[in-house]
Amino acid sequence: MVTGFCYIQKRTCITAKIAAEAAENGDETAIEVYKICGEKLGEGLAIIADILDPQAIIIGSIFARSGQLLKDSMEKALHREASACRQALL
């Protein structure tokens, strides 16, 4: 198990792929980065849901590749931040 962001610090350019690999290998800092990103994504989606009231939101890009690292914290933030009438639909 790699901890302390050691795996990533040896790189000069940190990409989402490198961060995901570190998180999947147990790097606590990389895991926390993805947790925070998931929370921010969920908060942003809650705003979109409240303002636009879409029937669906389709997420691609990094979520398609690293969804397992983002999903739990994203869903918690989305449920926490969405308006009460929106939450009835979630």
Close Cβ partners of 23 (under 8 Å, ≥ 6 residues apart): 30, 31, 33, 34, 69
pLDDT tens digits for 56-70? 999 988 888 899 999
Query: How many angstroms separate the CA atoms of 39 and 88, rounded?
Result: 20
1-59: pLDDT as tens digits: 445 555 555 656 788 888 999 999 999 999 999 999 999 999 999 999 888 988 899 99
- Give the pLDDT of residue 5: 53
Query: 66 versus 86: which is more confidently predicted?
Result: 66
> Residue 2: its pLDDT value, please?
47
